[in-house]
């Protein structure tokens, strides 16, 4: 439905979970994809293998998005491998659940670097390429916790709320340069990050009670929103946050 043939995308944190599903979805729509990962090379190589087996183009690339000195590697891989960058999906994210009274400076520093500072400066580096062609799409993967706090996870909540304002601020500045910046905010999605907690029947029941669709989302549930915001179909959508949460925020 969304045609991305001839386009090139960088997806951060694409070795597992939501990022993996996004990388596969973009590739199936025709995009060449940089499959970024932090540590899990085998998983990233599997994603690349899957894309290539389906006739697509992809390159796996290790880079810690929380370390600004590693961003150039990502840009160079896309530029040298595909000759262009049309789409950046800032998906990589982390959380260290810590109650506020026990929260540490280390958790603040690391979570801010990966979830917010890394997104800001990687977007800047990529946008400097996009402005040359006056075209580009930046999509930030936030969370329902950008508006609804999760207990014992204040630092994460703050980074995701910041991501919404980051999205709006960049959208405002980059609109006249032909670049759209939007946010996709998932609800509860079954990934390595959430699997253990959702395996606890009591926790799962509490989560399901909050979701009008009465099911936990799969990573693939997030892909449609990202495809829309990556394609020409969204050329007049800018600064928006699209909640993909089975209606969780309705109640
Ligand atoms: P996940 O299953 O834990 O996967 C995390 C991915 O990010 C992996 O590919 C990991 O690479 C990569 N990554 C982690 N830190 C990185 C870093 N510093 N630099 C580069 N890559 C890094 O996570 P997920 O649940 O799919 O979450 C993806 C995004 O969706 C996050 O931003 C998260 O906050 C957001 N989100 C998730 C949910 C949910 O319910 N799961 C809900 C709302 C929002 P390695 O494989 O190399 O470790």
CA distances from 143 to 36, 85, 132, 238, 245 (A): 20, 25, 31, 18, 9
pLDDT of residue 179: 98
Check pocket membership of 114 for ligand 1, CB cut-off 6 A: yes
Which segments within 87-186 are labelled E, that is strand? 87-90, 136-141, 179-186
Q: Which CATH superfamily is domain 8-189+219-246 in?
A: NAD(P)-binding Rossmann-like Domain (3.40.50.720)
HSE, side-chain direction, 13 A CA sphere, residue 78: 27
Predicted confidence (pLDDT) at residue 230 exceeds the cutoff of 90: yes
Question: Among 20, 93, 192, which residue has the most ligand 1 atoms within 8 Å of its CB, making it the best to mutate?
Answer: 93
Cα–Cα–Cα angle for 100, 102, 104, nearest 5°?
A: 95
pLDDT of residue 233: 97
- Rounded distance between C-alpha atoms, residue 90 and residue 135, angstroms: 17
Nearest CA to ligand 1 atom 41: 189
pLDDT tens digits, 160-209: 999 999 999 999 999 999 999 999 999 999 999 999 999 999 999 999 99
Model's pTM, two decimal places? 0.99
Which segments within the chain are labelled E, that is strand? 8-11, 32-37, 58-62, 87-90, 136-141, 179-186, 241-244
Residue 243 bears catalytic tag: no
Closest ligand 1 atom, residue 14 Cα = 9
What would the two tokens of residue 156 be? 């994460």
Check pocket membership of 230 for ligand 1, CB cut-off 6 A: no
Question: Among 10, 12, 14, 18, which residue has the most ligand 1 atoms within 8 Å of its CB, making it the best to mutate?
Answer: 18
In this prediction, residues 119-141 reach a mean pLDDT of 98
In this prediction, residues 154-161 reach a mean pLDDT of 98
pLDDT of residue 108: 98
pLDDT of residue 148: 98
In this prediction, residues 103-118 reach a mean pLDDT of 98
Annotated catalytic residue within 37, 120, 156, 243 = 156
In this prediction, residues 153-158 reach a mean pLDDT of 98
**Spans of all domains in the chain:** 8-189+219-246
In angstroms, the first-to-last Cα distance of the chain is 32
pLDDT of residue 168: 99
Check pocket membership of 13 for ligand 1, CB cut-off 6 A: yes
In this prediction, residues 67-71 reach a mean pLDDT of 98
pLDDT class of 80 with cuts at 50, 70, 90:
very high
Check pocket membership of 65 for ligand 1, CB cut-off 6 A: yes
pLDDT of residue 1: 73
pLDDT of residue 48: 99
- Rounded distance between C-alpha atoms, residue 197 and residue 178, angstroms: 42
Check pocket membership of 217 for ligand 1, CB cut-off 6 A: no
pLDDT of residue 222: 99
């Amino acid at each position: 439905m969304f045609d991305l043939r001839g386009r090139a995308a960088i997806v951060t944190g694409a070795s597992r979970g939501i990022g993996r599903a996004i990388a596969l979805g973009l590739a199936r729509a025709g995009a060449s994809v940089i499959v970024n990962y932090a540590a899990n090379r085998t998983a990233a190589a599997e994603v690349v293998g899957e894309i290539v087996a389906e006739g697509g183009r992809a390159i796996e690339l290790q880079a810690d998005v929380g370390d600004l000195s590693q961003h150039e590697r990502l840009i160079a891989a896309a530029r040298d491998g595909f000759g262009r960058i049309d789409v950046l999906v800032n998906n990589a994210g982390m959380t260290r659940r810590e109650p506020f009274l026990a929260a540490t400076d280390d958790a603040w520093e690391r979570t801010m670097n990966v979830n917010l500072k890394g997104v800001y400066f990687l977007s800047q580096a990529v946008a400097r390429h996009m402005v040359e062609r006056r075209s580009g799409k930046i999509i930030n993967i936030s969370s329902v916790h950008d508006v609804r706090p999760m207990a014992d996870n204040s630092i994460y909540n703050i980074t995701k709320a910041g991501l919404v304002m980051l999205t709006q601020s960049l959208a405002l500045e980059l609109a006249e340069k032909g670049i759209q910046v939007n946010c996709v905010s998932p609800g509860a999605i079954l990934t390595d990050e959430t699997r253990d907690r959702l395996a606890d029947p009591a926790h799962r029941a509490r989560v399901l009670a909050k979701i009008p669709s009465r099911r936990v989302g799969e990573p693939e549930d997030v892909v449609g929103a990202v495809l829309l915001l990556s394609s020409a179909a969204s050329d007049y959508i800018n600064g928006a946050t699209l909640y993909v949460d089975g209606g969780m925020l309705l109640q």
